[in-house]
Structures are given as C-alpha cells and as structure tokens.
Copies of this chain bind each other. A is one copy, B any other.
Amino acid sequence: METFGDIIRTAREGKGLFLRQVAAELDIDQAIISKFERTERKPTKEQVLKFAKFYKIDKGELLVAWLSDRVAYELMTEKDHERILIVAEEKIKYLKSKRTPEQV
C-alpha cells in the first residue's frame, strides 16, 4: 500500500538522484517535490504524469496511487467510509454508462 510519495521517493533513491536534480529536470521546485514525497502536498495530474515519464513508472499505476491518496485523505475523518465507497462505486458506474464514447 504505497502512497504516491512513497513511490516517487523510492524511484528517486533507486536512481541515486538528489531533489535538486529532479527539480531541475522536471521544472518543479525542490521544496515541493520534498513535500510530495512526504505526502504533505498533493500534486496536480500534470505533475503526476511528469513523474511517471521521468522515472519510467507505469502511468496508470501512478495515477491509481495518486487518486487513491486523494480519496483516502478526503474520507479519512469520516464515518461510514466503507459505505461511502460502495455507493460511490455504483454512482461511478452509472455516470460512466451515461457518458458518450467521445467523453470516454
């Protein structure tokens, strides 16, 4: 169960890079990357894709980690999170079925 931050920190360490170097490469302030790695700030989708490309991490995998982080932090303090997720799942299926192919 890795957070987005865990993944990009592990990837950076695996490549033996400093924050400074990644920051220069991705044109993102190193302070922000430090915060991403410690789950203190949430990246934008664009930034997630930058990381995926740079570290050669599967895009889909990284997006799953990122979005699940977002949902988790959104529901962390709520009761009934299990039911909320079940109902959300139904709603998503319904909403997706209503969308036109162009939107998919």
Interface string of A57-83 (1 = CB under 8 A from B): 000100111011111111111111111
Question: Are B83 and A1 within 8 A (Cβ)?
Answer: no
Chain B neighbourhood of A70, CB < 8 A: 74
Question: Are B80 and A96 within 8 A (Cβ)?
Answer: no
Chain B neighbourhood of A65, CB < 8 A: 87
Give Cα A60–Cα B80 distance, bound, in whole angstroms: 8
**What is the copy number of this chain in the assembly?**
2
**For this complex, into which size category does the number of interface residues on chain A fall?**
35 or more
Q: Which residues of A approach B to under 8 Å, CB–CB?
A: 1, 3, 60, 63-65, 67-85, 87-92, 94-96, 99, 103
Question: Are A68 and B84 within 8 A (Cβ)?
Answer: yes
